[in-house]
């Protein structure tokens, strides 16, 4: 089978490998679509720790091709997507109900082989079925949507809130839609790329700011004079993460959702955070959110079809990484053919 294998920083190779055989508790999935994520780009740039060599890709959907021993609840041909994070089940975090922070987590596409390949092995406990009404490339949004659901859970968006989303790429677009679904009265996106702003407005954001055209804080305060009840920083840019703190209202919440390079530091005034009682939260992975993400997609409460700007055949995977982040992109989708 064809697979996109990352050997280290900047070293991605297309390989031909044998189709893996599912062990006990595992399912062999024939991959049909796999989204390209900021984490994949960060892995390629050497900005995210991983176990090399590894088949890249963790936002996928496909069909069950074969079942390992002792797998119940699935049959060959089922349409499936997955939570790619395999938890140890026995560390202090797993036992404490915080499995997404598992000390020994093994994530597909990072620590174990992922889904930019024709087939992938997935533990059955990580698999979720989805209905035929949902296209494979739509279902491939399950993992990023589940992460967005967790971020919105943590933030505690309330009905009537003003929510600011800094960065309206694929993930920012999902968070903006979830904020609207959670009852926010105003969902404001700030994004330098016009096409991404347009998609956000099309999908339910109420306002879009071009940060290149003027001061974001001023534009925000014209919409809500106190500032935002909740600010999501989705770009993973430390300057923006620092700025986010001053865009929240007093007592407001800031979610650092974007993944910043591990060696970068944000300059935030503790005095300001203290005096204004700002809540700053990290949001990591997708605990108890995958099931809800599948339902949101299947019930068409979240729109993803218009976020896909590029479809790239698996054989052209290196092209996907070179396109990532470009001004004409929102979401890149790797497809594995019919």
Q: Is the dihedral of CA 118, 123, 124, 130 positive or negative?
A: negative
198 in Cβ contact with 224 (< 8 Å): no
Find the shortest distance in angstroms from Cβ 222 to Zn ion: 34
Q: What is the DSSP letter of 117?
A: B
Strands 186-190 and 59-67: unpaired
Please check whether residue 148 is in contact with residue 169, taking contact to mean a CB–CB distance below 8 angstroms: no
Q: Stretches 84-92, 262-270, 300-308, 321-329: which one binds Zn ion (CB under 5 A)?
A: 84-92
Strands 331-335 and 26-35: antiparallel
In the complex, the smallest distance separating the C-beta of residue 314 from Zn ion, rounded to whole angstroms, is 17
Between 88 and 273, whose beta carbon lies closer to Zn ion? Answer: 88
Per CB under 5 A, the segment of 39-47, 49-57, 78-86, 307-315 that binds Zn ion is 39-47
The least distance separating Zn ion from the CB of residue 161, rounded to whole angstroms, comes to: 26
Q: How many CB atoms lie within 10 A of CB 194?
A: 12
Please select the residue that binds Zn ion; options are 14, 88, 181, 223, rule is CB under 5 A.
88
Angle at 95 between CA 93 and CA 100, to 5 degrees: 40
Tell me how far apart the alpha carbons of residues 286 and 100 are, in angstroms, rounded to a whole number.
7
Taking CB under 5 A as the criterion, the residue among 37, 43, 120, 259 binding Zn ion is 37
Of 243 and 329, nearer to Zn ion (C-beta) is 329
Cβ proximity to Zn ion: between 41 and 208 the closer is: 41
Are 101 and 93 in contact by the 8 Å Cβ rule? The answer is: yes
Q: Which stretch binds Zn ion (CB under 5 A): 88-96, 170-178, 262-270, 319-327?
A: 88-96
Least spacing, CB of residue 220 vs Zn ion, in Å: 28
Backbone angles phi, psi at 171, to 5 degrees: -70, -45
By beta-carbon proximity to Zn ion, the closer residue of 209 and 333 is 333
Binders of Zn ion among residues 97 to 136 (CB under 5 A) are 102
Residue 233's closest CA among 293, 154, 171?
Answer: 171
- Closest separation in Å from C-beta 146 to Zn ion: 10
Q: If binding means CB under 5 A, how many residues of this protein chain bind Zn ion?
A: 7
DSSP label of 89: S
C-alpha to C-alpha distances, 93 to 99, 102, 105, 328, nearest whole angstrom:
6, 5, 10, 40
Binding mask 206-245 for Zn ion (x = CB under 5 A): ----------------------------------------
Quick one: which of 14, 19, 91, 185 contacts Zn ion (CB under 5 A)? Answer: 91
Helices 216-223 & 238-247 angle (0-180, nearest 10): 30
SS3 37: coil
| Cα 44 to Cα 34: distance, rounded to the nearest angstrom | 16
Q: How far is the CB of 283 from Zn ion (least distance, A)?
A: 13
Site string for Zn ion, 53-72 (x = CB under 5 A): ------x-------------
- Return the number of the residue (39 or 290) whose C-beta is nearest Zn ion: 39
Q: Which is nearer to Zn ion, 103 or 133 (CB)?
A: 103
Q: By the criterion CB under 5 A, which residues form the site for Zn ion?
A: 37, 39, 59, 88, 91, 94, 102
């Amino acid at each position: 089978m064809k697979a996109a294998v990352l050997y280290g920083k900047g070293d991605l190779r297309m390989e031909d490998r044998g189709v893996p055989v599912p062990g006990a508790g595992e399912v062999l999935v024939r991959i049909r679509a796999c989204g390209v994520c900021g984490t994949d780009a960060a892995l390629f740039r050497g900005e995210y720790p991983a176990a090399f060599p590894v088949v890249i890709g963790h936002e996928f959907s496909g069909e069950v091709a074969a079942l390992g021993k002792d797998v119940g609840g699935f049959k060959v041909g089922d349409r499936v997507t997955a939570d790619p994070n395999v938890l140890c089940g026995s560390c202090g975090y797993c036992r404490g109900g915080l499995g997404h922070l598992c000390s020994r987590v093994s994530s597909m596409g990072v620590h174990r082989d992922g889904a930019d390949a024709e087939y992938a092995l997935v533990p059955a406990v990580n698999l979720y079925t989805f209905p035929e009404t949902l296209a494979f490339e739509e279902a491939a949004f399950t993992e990023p949507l589940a992460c967005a659901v967790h971020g919105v859970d943590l933030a505690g968006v309330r009905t009537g809130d003003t929510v600011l989303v800094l960065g309206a790429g694929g993930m920012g677009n999902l968070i903006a839609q979830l904020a609207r679904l959670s009852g926010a009265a105003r969902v404001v996106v700030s994004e330098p790329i016009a096409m991404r702003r347009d998609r956000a407005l099309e999908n339910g954001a109420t306002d879009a700011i071009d940060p290149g055209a003027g001061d974001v804080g001023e534009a925000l305060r014209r919409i809500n004079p106190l500032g935002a009840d909740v600010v999501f920083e989705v770009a993973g840019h430390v300057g923006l993460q620092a700025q986010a703190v001053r865009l929240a209202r007093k007592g407001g919440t800031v979610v650092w959702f974007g993944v910043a390079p591990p060696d970068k530091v944000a300059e935030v005034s503790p005095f300001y955070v203290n005096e204004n009682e700002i809540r700053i939260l990290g949001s990591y992975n997708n605990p108890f959110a995958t099931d809800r993400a599948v339902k949101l997609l299947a019930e068409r409460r979240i729109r993803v079809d218009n976020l896909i700007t590029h479809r790239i055949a698996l054989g052209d995977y290196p092209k996907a990484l070179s396109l990532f982040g470009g001004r004409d992109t929102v979401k890149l989708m790797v497809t594995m053919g019919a």
